[in-house]
Amino acid sequence: MMVELAFPGTRSTGDNHAEDSLHWSMHSFHAATSSHCHRVGRIASLITRQLGLSDAEVHSIARAARLHDIGKMDVPNHLLLKTGKLTADERAMMDCHPELGVARIARLIDDPTMIAVIGCHHEQWDGCGYPRGLAGEEIPLPARIVAVADVYDALREKRSYKSAYSHAEALAYLVDASGTKFDPAVVDAFVAVSRRATRIIAKIYP
Ligand SMILES: [Fe+2]
């Protein structure tokens, strides 16, 4: 699998200790974001396996998914803690988190898949995402996978402004946005694997 996207100024040393310490930092900074990232890693693994990618790719995408929102550590804390709707300015600040995450990770970890996932998990298949407005296969596949897992998890969670969706409701949302927000092949893979992995999914979302 080629991960072809490079962000300017990326540099890395390939250090697992750095990765571990980032997990700890994220957990102590905001435990809910850290838990979200871990669940997204588990869902992304199911999808990646269903797509027929290798064990190494499954592992690599899961690792990247577990840090995909690391850039939120560089967003003002009160935004993460805010229970009401974000203002337009606050939303703009929050939407910087993919680039902030790339800036933080690229100094520490040599992993193009991780850079691609962190930087592109809010891009959309139709080009209406952010930060770059990439479309279709311009978006690296690992980021297209994590985008589906990310939204699925966000829907399943109860948040201050919405109740938790059931699995069927969240799946219906993804299917509805297949081909617009999401890569249809990735949505199809999740639909297929979720029929077989009902017990695993029920454990992740008790
Ligand atoms: Fe995000």
Delineate the domains of the chain, giving CATH numbers in brackets. 16-204 (1.10.3210.10)
- Protein residues with C-beta less than 5 angstroms from the ion ligand 1: 69
User: Which secondary structure element, helix H or strand E, spans residue 94, and what is its range?
Assistant: helix 88-94
User: pTM for the complete prediction?
Assistant: 0.90
Please tell me the predicted confidence (pLDDT) of residue 149.
Answer: 98
C-alpha 196/C-alpha 200 separation (Å) is 9
Per-residue model confidence (pLDDT) at position 7: 40
Is the model more confident about 37 or about 29? Answer: 37
Q: For 2-30, what is each residue's pLDDT tens digit?
A: 444 444 333 334 457 788 888 888 888 88
- CA of residue 70 to ligand 1 center, whole Å: 8
pLDDT confidence tier of residue 107, bands split at 50, 70 and 90 = confident
Q: Does the structure show a pLDDT above 50 at 45?
A: yes
Taking the C-alpha atoms of residue 104 and residue 96, their distance in angstroms, rounded to an integer, is 12
Tell how far the Cα of 147 is from the centroid of ligand 1, in angstroms.
Answer: 9
Q: Environment class of residue 34 by beta-carbon count within 10 Å: exposed (0-12), middle (13-18) or buried (19+)?
A: buried
Quote the distance between the C-alpha of residue 9 and its chain's center.
22
**Mean per-residue pLDDT of the chain:** 90
Task: Please check whether residue 117 is in contact with residue 147, taking contact to mean a CB–CB distance below 8 angstroms.
Answer: no
User: Among 101-115, 129-143, 171-185, where is mean pLDDT lowest?
Assistant: 101-115
- Which pLDDT belongs to residue 11? 39
pLDDT at 58: 97
> Which residues, at least 6 apart from 26, have a Cβ–Cβ distance to it below 8 Å?
33, 34, 37, 67, 69, 70, 73
Q: Is the pLDDT of residue 126 over 80?
A: yes
The residues, ordered by sequence, that sit 6+ positions from 61 with a Cβ below 8 Å of its Cβ are 44, 45, 48, 53, 113, 117, 142, 145, 146
Distance 71 CA to ligand 1 centre (A): 8
Rounded to the nearest angstrom, the distance between the alpha carbon of 122 and the centre of ligand 1 is 6
Cα–Cα distance for residue pair 187/191, rounded to 1 Å: 6
User: What confidence tens digit (pLDDT) does each residue in 61-104 have?
Assistant: 999 999 999 999 999 988 888 888 899 999 999 999 999 999 99
Q: What is the pLDDT of residue 199?
A: 94
Average pLDDT value for residue range 141-157: 97
CA of 97 to the centre of ligand 1 (A): 7
pLDDT higher at 194 or 6: 194
What's the confidence (pLDDT) of residue 15?
53
% of the chain beyond a pLDDT of 70: 93
7/166: higher pLDDT: 166
